[in-house]
């Protein structure tokens, strides 16, 4: 017997999970109770990492390439998008793929022109 799933509407930007869609919801997902608890944990974890990153930002002479705070935040954010993709409606999956956020799993952006040879100069 299949576990009943309920539609929820999620705004990553506003860190909201709602039962009805509105202007601030970006993604529709189908979740059971366990999935809902996991999603709440992922959003709470993202808030924790966001706070930690914010506290680390003003540290002088700390290169982002050598600071674990942005990496941890990016990892949590990617994990959230993977979760939303897996639980998402077809529209949600398409929107996440169009955003290109899942490409971050294999692309560290070192090929951008600012890195000049494929690797950051300050590493």
User: Which of 16-20, 102-106, 114-118 has the largest mean confidence?
Assistant: 16-20
In whole angstroms, how far apart are CA 71 and each of 10, 39, 49, 58? 23, 20, 10, 16
Please determine, for residue 118, whether its predicted confidence score (pLDDT) is greater than 80. no
Q: Are 31 and 19 in contact (CB under 8 A)?
A: no
- Which structural domain range is residue 66 located in? 6-111
pLDDT given at position 3: 83
Look at residue 102 and tell me if it is in a domain: yes
118 within a domain of the structure (yes/no): no
In a domain, 27, yes or no: yes
**Predicted structure pTM score:** 0.70
Total domains in the fold of the chain: 1
Res. 66: pLDDT tops 60: no
**H or E element: which one contains 54?**
helix 33-56
Instruction: Look at residue 105 in the predicted model and tell me its pLDDT.
Output: 53
For residue 35, the model assigns a pLDDT of 97
Mean pLDDT of 81-85: 96
Does 120 fall in a domain? no
Helix, strand, coil percentages (3-state) for the chain, rounded to 5, are 55, 10, 35
Is 96 within the bounds of a domain? yes
Question: Two tokens at 26?
Answer: 């970006």
Mean pLDDT (the chain) is 77
Decide if 17 is inside a domain. Answer: yes
Task: Answer yes or no: is pLDDT of 90 > 80.
Answer: yes
User: What does the pLDDT look like over 7-60, one tens digit per residue?
Assistant: 999 999 888 999 999 887 889 999 999 999 999 999 988 876 555 555 555 556
Name the token pair of 98.
């169009």
């Amino acid at each position: 017997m299949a576990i009943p799933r309920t539609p929820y509407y999620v705004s990553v930007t506003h860190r909201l999970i709602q039962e009805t869609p509105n202007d601030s919801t970006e993604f529709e997902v189908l979740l059971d109770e366990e999935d809902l608890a996991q999603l709440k944990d992922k959003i709470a974890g993202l808030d924790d990492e966001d706070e930690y990153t914010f506290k680390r930002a003003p540290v002088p002479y700390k290169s982002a390439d050598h600071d674990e705070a942005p990496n941890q935040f990016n990892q949590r954010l990617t994990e959230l998008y993977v979760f939303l993709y897996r639980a998402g409606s077809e529209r949600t999956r398409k929107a996440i793929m169009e955003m290109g956020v899942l490409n971050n799993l294999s692309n560290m952006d070192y090929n951008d022109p600012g890195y000049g040879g494929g690797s950051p100069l300050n590493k």
